[in-house]
Amino acid sequence: MILEPAPAKLNLALHVRRRRADGYHDIETLFAFVTDGDELRVATGVARFAISGPFALALAGEGSNLVLKAERAFAKEFGIDAAHRIELVKRLPIASGIGGGSADAAATLRALARLHGVAIDDPRLFALADTLGSDVPACLLGHTAIGLGRGEQLRPVAGPGHLPVLLVNPGVPVSTADVFRRWDGVDRGPIGDDPLAGRNDLEAPAREIAPVIGDVLDWLRAQPGASFVRMSGSGATCFALFDSVEARAAAARAMHRGWWHLETMLA
């Protein structure tokens, strides 16, 4: 049995530069990862896929789950006949801008690579990841990186450090495609040398769909010790970096609205 973590990804900045002819958008983003998220358990055996954890129900019935897509793509690419028993512990909210499904797909590729003796940096894994979603290559890399193109062209960089983070999601699923569709088409400029000084250009369109995101951002900014606050991806999850674990814990204790939250660290 292989245990593979599927940590949440954050976009510390996300600049949308242009709409492309293929329906995607060219972005410039700083991906980062936290130390908590979903978890995958994979073994060879009778084919079986089970989902447990607090967000299992939200995924149930979705036959096109990215984990199974990743398994099929891996088996085809590497000529694997063996069936797999796969268990997904779903701890991250669905459609929430922190890459849950992408992290799960990347963890599936990593777990199967370990199980079948494929090198983790095999370029074929990254090519498969690319076909599974724009954020899957970043999740496969699992390291702070600048992402260009759809987000799949990656350059590892140093992150802001092992800082305490609080993730907050108001419980409204937001479709990434819907948010990109509402982007106003205005190029507000490149990500620059200091991405933290940048923006998330998807915040405005996401707030049109889920105005409560504004309340989450305001709440996070009001927490003592919150040094940096932003929405991740296409939302609705927002995050704050904190000066100390104590300040993060105090903010988590002050959370009174029933919003989902996760106390974690930047990886």
Instruction: Tell me if 15 contacts ligand C5P by CB under 6 A.
Output: no
Residue type for 115, please?
L
Residues 77 and 83: their CA atoms lie apart, in Å, by 15
Side-chain-side CA neighbours of residue 136 (13 Å): 23
Dihedral sign computed on CA atoms, order 37, 216, 62, 105: negative
* CB-count burial class (<10 Å; 0-12, 13-18, 19+) for 80: middle
Residue whose CB is less far from ligand C5P, 114 or 150: 150
Q: How far is CA 172 from CA 48, 95, 97, 115, 213, in A?
A: 30, 9, 11, 36, 9
Instruction: Tell me if 24 contacts ligand C5P by CB under 6 A.
Output: yes
Where in the sequence numbering do the catalytic residues fall?
Answer: 9, 135
Taking CB under 6 A as the rule, which mask of x and - marks residues 27-66 in contact with ligand C5P? x---------------------------------------
Work out how close the CB of 207 gets to ligand C5P at its nearest, in angstroms, rounded to a whole number: 17
Instruction: Tell me if 97 contacts ligand C5P by CB under 6 A.
Output: no
**Contact of 165 with 34, CB cutoff 8 Å:** yes
Of the candidates 57, 177, 245, 254, which one interacts with ligand C5P according to CB under 6 A? 177
Residue type for 36, please?
D
Which residue, judged by CB position, is nearest to ligand C5P in the bound state? 134
Query: Among 144, 121, 184, 195, which Cα is nearest to 35's?
Result: 144
Of the candidates 7, 151, 170, 235, which one interacts with ligand C5P according to CB under 6 A? 151
For tokens 């814990």, name the residue. 249
Side-chain-side CA neighbours of residue 90 (13 Å): 24
Residues 234-263 that bind ligand C5P (CB under 6 A): none
Residues 57 and 65: their CA atoms lie apart, in Å, by 13
Residues 66-85 that bind ligand C5P (CB under 6 A): none
Residues 116-145 that bind ligand C5P (CB under 6 A): 133-135
Work out how close the CB of 26 gets to ligand C5P at its nearest, in angstroms, rounded to a whole number: 7
Residues 178-197 that bind ligand C5P (CB under 6 A): 180
Residue whose CB is less far from ligand C5P, 11 or 264: 11
Work out how close the CB of 219 gets to ligand C5P at its nearest, in angstroms, rounded to a whole number: 27
Instruction: Tell me if 150 contacts ligand C5P by CB under 6 A.
Output: yes
Residues making contact with ligand C5P (CB under 6 A): 23-25, 27, 133-135, 150-151, 176-177, 180
